[in-house]
Amino acid sequence: MNELCAIALEAIRRRLAQEPDRAPALTSTLAEPGAAFVTLERDERLLGCVGSLEAVRPLGADVARHAVAAAFADPRVPPITVADYEQMSCKVAVLSPMTPLAVDSFAALTRALRPNVDGLVVASGKQRATFLPSVWAKVPDIAAFLDELWRKAALVSGTWPTGIQCSTYTTDEYAAAGPRPFR
């Protein structure tokens, strides 16, 4: 499935080169609906991360679309450059279906979560956010993971909003490191 990284990088390269977008050729597996996130980093600095939580298009097309969005439309960071492209790492995380959690407190959520395995989506009213399982490597413990996710969702840290919904998922991850030529 390193095909997914190749699809992501080719979509970004075409955009950088100002070539027309071209739908990737998809094997049968990549033509099936799938949800993925594409994360771009250079020297451990985020260049962009965009994805979807639900499978609404063929997996290969989802990856190509999110790769371009991560590279050029993530509002948290400036668009990438050719120099970024040549040096960046590209990670594709393919999401499993969501599993709703029947939890009613931080304590119950903490017991239900599997560190380094689960991604988590929290939704309360119009606020919604997710952390991929790869985020576990960047936080010291479950409390920090939840605190940062609450902040990302614009929820007040330490509160348990009425009606909050939590779901977990896992990912299969694929990566392509730089450097690479811009051809």
Give the residue extent of every domain in the chain: 3-95+171-176, 99-169
Q: Return the closest-CA partner of residue 121 out of 51, 58, 62, 44.
A: 51
pLDDT tier for residue 183 given thresholds of 50, 70 and 90:
confident
Residues 120, 126, 127, 133: what is their CA dihedral angle, to the nearest 10 degrees? 20
99-169 has the same fold as 3-95+171-176: no
d(CA 170, CA 113): 11
The mean pLDDT of the chain is 95
Q: Is the dihedral of CA 142, 145, 147, 149 positive or negative?
A: negative
Residue 1 has pLDDT above 60, yes or no: no
pLDDT of residue 49: 97
Specify the pLDDT at position 25: 79
Residue 173 confidence (pLDDT) above 80: yes
Identify any residues that bridge with 174 across adjacent strands, giving them in sequence order: 92
Stated pTM of the model: 0.93
Q: How do residues 103-121 score in pLDDT, each as one tens digit?
A: 999 999 999 999 999 999 9
* Architecture field, domain 3-95+171-176: 2-Layer Sandwich (3.30)
CATH of 99-169 given 3.30.1490.150, 2.60.40.10, 3.40.190.10, 3.90.180.10? 3.30.1490.150
Residue 121: what are its φ and ψ, rounded to 5°?
-115, 130
Judged against a pLDDT cut of 90, whether residue 24 lies above it is answered with no
- pLDDT category at 29 given cuts 50, 70, 90 is confident
Please compute the mean of the pLDDT values over residues 163-173 and round it to a whole number: 97
pLDDT of 153 over the 70 cut = yes
What sign results for the dihedral spanned by CA atoms 144, 145, 147, 152? positive
User: What value does the mean pLDDT take over residues 41-66?
Assistant: 96
* pLDDT of 82 strictly over 70: yes
Alpha helices in 35-177 (DSSP H): 59-72, 82-87, 106-112, 142-152
Q: Is the dihedral of CA 88, 58, 136, 120 positive or negative?
A: positive
- Asked if the model's pLDDT at residue 27 lies above 90, the reply is no
| pLDDT band of 10, cuts 50, 70, 90 | very high
pLDDT score at 103: 97
- Strand, coil or helix: what is 178? coil
- Whole-angstrom CA distances from 7 to 13, 25, 105, 162, 171 are 10, 9, 41, 42, 18
Is residue 74 scored above 90 in pLDDT?
A: yes
Reduced to 3 states (helix: H, G, I; strand: E, B; else coil), residue 107 is helix
What is the model's pLDDT at position 126? 94
- For residue 8, give the H/E element and its range: helix 3-16
